[in-house]
């Protein structure tokens, strides 16, 4: 028995000893791997120096531009209805007049004044107090207050606004201010590092970093004239009017808007190029208003289908969808169906570029416009007029009335020309051809397609884009519209709801 126990004890000790050895070796191996990992994670002095230099570039840029970016506090007094001051109020009906008289007396005002506070940003552009910002930062404000870095407050006055580009200039009574250095937005490159400076969510002088994601963004429905720089540098509410700057601290854009399904930053922000902003700013300071060149035509982009139908080798240029009778383009001999390929020496890629160039030109100036007509280039001299503004002072004007119609019905149209009619089989007919259907719009919901011919709007005969715009101009959201449509050899009515 004793011998047996001794044998079991010896075997147990042997096993324990073996397991201990394995554990010891495992610990040694783990320690060795940990040491190797630590050695692998060691950063060389050269790498640290490179990273520090990279960081220093952002630090220097922020130090350069930060003092010139200021918060702008706006106050607007609005009149709101008192929910307890109306006889139509459901609470009054439930509790009765005696209840309200007991607690509130007979002096229950039906309207009350309420002050709405908002915060935006601005960029100091002169040492004597001129500040560039967004129009929507100052629009409707009864009082504007600018706070400097030393906490000193100034009341600002509006020098001029331009809703069509969403820019404004305000001024404070001060001197020796830290003025921003303005860069050249035409020379910026996609992928270039930038910083955004502003006051998001009342967090003053916030600096974020990112890159330029794209240039020339338009059709964002943010303003009449759009040529935005897109960036993934974080832009949030309160950043509007602040600076987008390069790593030299030069302002290359005015932060304006974000794309955000959730209301917060998702890495898609838009800034107005500083070259565009500078021209508008100079006019606002000099005259308090903007005068834009006017061509008097309806420009239209050319897609692949339209290029094929018109037998074009490229989609570049701007197709003249319609010409305003008696306008500058009409007087110079530009015709519907012409394709504008150059304006004042600049090659035209699309309609947005053309409209921006025309707007930036001075009214009364004579410019060379090259058009493609029947396969041949022709250069005409146009004396630009001054672009009319609508009576409401809003962002939309007469040069592109179809943009309003497009928003209302969710489609874009082109006057039926003989060439298009031949390609689509609509010879000896009239109307406007749908060139594109906006996803999610009323037209798409109603089943309309690209290539459909619209012949009537609410029984009104349509023979041109002008006819179509006139028929649509009086419609309001929620109105029902009856369209007579031809598709191929079939003609039928389609009903849709404006803005639906």
Q: Please identify which of the residues 136, 234, 406, 442 carries the catalytic annotation.
A: 136
Instruction: Respond yes or no: is residue 234 known to be catalytic.
Output: no
Confidence check: pLDDT of 236 > 60 = yes
pLDDT of residue 46: 86
pLDDT class of 10 with cuts at 50, 70, 90: very low
Reported as a single tens digit per residue, the pLDDT across 286-332 is 988 888 999 999 888 888 878 887 888 889 999 998 888 889 999 99
360-405 residue pLDDT tens: 888 999 999 999 998 899 999 999 998 876 433 333 333 445 566 6
Domains detected in the chain: 56-288 (2.40.10.120), 293-386 (2.30.42.10), 402-497 (2.30.42.10)
Q: What is the mean pLDDT of the chain?
A: 81
The pLDDT, as a whole number, for residue 450 is 86
Q: What's residue 421's pLDDT?
A: 83
* Confidence (pTM): 0.64
Annotation says 136 is catalytic: yes
**Which band of pLDDT confidence, cut at 50, 70 and 90, is reported for residue 79?**
low
Asked whether the predicted pLDDT for residue 25 surpasses 50, the reply is no
Which one of the listed residues 165, 234, 240, 318 is annotated catalytic? 240
Active-site hit among 74, 121, 166, 301: 166
Check pLDDT > 70 for residue 100: no
Q: Is 305 a known active-site residue?
A: no
Local confidence band at 438 (pLDDT 50, 70, 90 cut-offs): confident
* Least trusted range by pLDDT, from 90-94, 101-105, 177-181: 90-94
Contacts of 247 (CB under 8 A, 6+ apart): 57, 58, 60, 61, 193, 194, 195
| pLDDT at position 38 over 70 | no
User: Per-residue pLDDT tens for 124-179?
Assistant: 999 999 999 999 999 888 899 999 988 899 999 999 999 989 999 999 999 999 99
On the question of pLDDT at 272 being above 50, the answer is yes
Rounded mean pLDDT of 463-487? 84
**Contact 130/146 with Cβ under 8 angstroms?**
no
Of the two residues 26 and 468, the one the predictor is more confident about is: 468
């Amino acid at each position: 028995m004793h011998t047996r126990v001794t044998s079991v004890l010896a075997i147990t000790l042997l096993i324990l000893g073996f397991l201990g050895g394995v554990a010891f070796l495992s610990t040694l191996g783990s320690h060795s791997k940990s040491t190797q990992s630590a050695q692998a994670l060691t950063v060389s002095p050269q790498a640290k120096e490179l990273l520090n230099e990279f960081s220093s570039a952002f630090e220097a840029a922020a130090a350069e531009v930060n003092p010139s970016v200021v918060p702008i506090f706006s106050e607007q007094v609005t009149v709101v209805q008192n929910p307890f001051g109306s006889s139509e109020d459901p609470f009054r009906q439930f509790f009765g007049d005696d209840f309200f008289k007991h607690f509130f007396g007979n002096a229950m005002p039906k309207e009350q004044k309420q002050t709405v506070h908002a915060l935006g940003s601005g960029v100091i552009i002169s040492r004597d107090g001129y500040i560039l910002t967004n129009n929507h930062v100052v629009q409707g404000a009864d009082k504007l207050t600018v706070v400097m870095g030393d906490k000193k407050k100034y009341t600002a006055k509006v020098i001029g606004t331009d809703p069509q580009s969403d820019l404004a200039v305000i001024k404070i009574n001060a001197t020796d201010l830290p003025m921003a250095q303005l860069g050249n937005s035409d020379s910026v490159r996609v992928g270039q590092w930038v910083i955004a400076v502003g006051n998001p969510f009342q967090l003053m002088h916030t600096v974020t970093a990112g890159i330029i994601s794209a240039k020339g963004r338009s059709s964002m429905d943010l303003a009449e004239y759009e040529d935005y720089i897109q960036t993934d540098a974080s832009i949030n509410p309160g950043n509007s009017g602040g600076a987008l700057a390069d790593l030299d601290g030069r302002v290359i854009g005015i932060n304006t808007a974000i794309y955000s399904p959730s209301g917060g930053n998702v890495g898609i922000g838009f800034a107005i190029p500083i070259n565009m902003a500078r021209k508008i700013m100079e006019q606002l300071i000099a005259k308090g208003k903007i005068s834009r060149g006017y061509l008097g035509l309806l420009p239209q982009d050319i897609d692949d289908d339209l290029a094929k139908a018109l037998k074009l080798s490229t989609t570049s240029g701007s197709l003249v969808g319609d010409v305003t009778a008696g306008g500058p383009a009409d007087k110079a001999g530009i015709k519907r169906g012409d394709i504008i390929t150059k304006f004042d020496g600049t090659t035209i890629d699309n309609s947005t570029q053309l409209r921006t160039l025309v707007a930036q030109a001075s009214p009364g100036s004579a410019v060379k416009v090259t058009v493609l007509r029947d396969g041949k280039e022709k250069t005409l001299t146009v004396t630009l007029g001054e672009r009319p503004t609508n009576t409401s002072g809003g962002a939309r004007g007469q040069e592109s009335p179809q943009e309003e119609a497009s928003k209302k019905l969710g489609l874009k149209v082109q006057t039926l020309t003989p060439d298009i009619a031949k390609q689509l089989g609509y010879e000896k007919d009239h109307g406007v051809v749908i060139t594109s259907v906006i996803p999610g719009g009323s037209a798409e919901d109603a089943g309309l397609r690209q290539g459909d011919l619209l012949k009537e709007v609410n029984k009104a005969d349509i023979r041109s884009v002008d006819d179509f715009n006139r028929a649509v101009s009086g419609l309001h959201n929620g109105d029902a519209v009856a369209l007579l449509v031809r598709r191929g050899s079939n003609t039928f009515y389609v009903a849709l709801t404006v803005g639906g």
